[in-house]
Structure 1
Amino acid sequence: METQESTLTLALMTEPARVRICRALLEAGEAGLPATDLAQLARLSLGRAGHVFSELVQADVLALSIQERRVCYVLKARRAVIEALGYIDASGLAD
């Protein structure tokens, strides 16, 4: 965890919902997932999830895309997220 991107990603992932979102997007690959699906996976209302998505987009962790008239998100900082999740898992911080 040496880069600014890794540090920022780790800081953002201190909330379990963010961890669930990033894990889901990591598994989804390049296609990403619709916002409604991510909100459900994160166990958040769509309104609260929108706030979390906005934070992650501003931090350059997620990218927004429109697919078939649906708002979707794609993981942008894949390497930093993998590193952060590894650290979180190894330290027992995961929910």
Structure 2
Amino acid sequence: MELIRLLKEAGMIPGSFDADALFDLDLDVIQTTSRDLFPKLRILVGEVPQSPDPLPLTTTDAIDNLTVSSHYASAAKDGSDTSSEGCP
């Protein structure tokens, strides 16, 4: 109710409105507004330098990554067979 009172004090009459007419913006308007807004925000909040994208892995790198041993100890006892050949 406080909001309605404030709107009336400001000379605005609260009521229904056509949301499409209010929020349906042209793409050009959205892009222009974004271009104008971002520099102003950058001044207020600063900017984190962007790091370059990492280089894609080559086939050799991918194979090297597959052969890296685990840092975790095995749960199997030494000399035991951990395959599923004997399962019914």
TM-score (norm 1): 0.21
Larger Rg: 2
TM-score (norm 2): 0.23
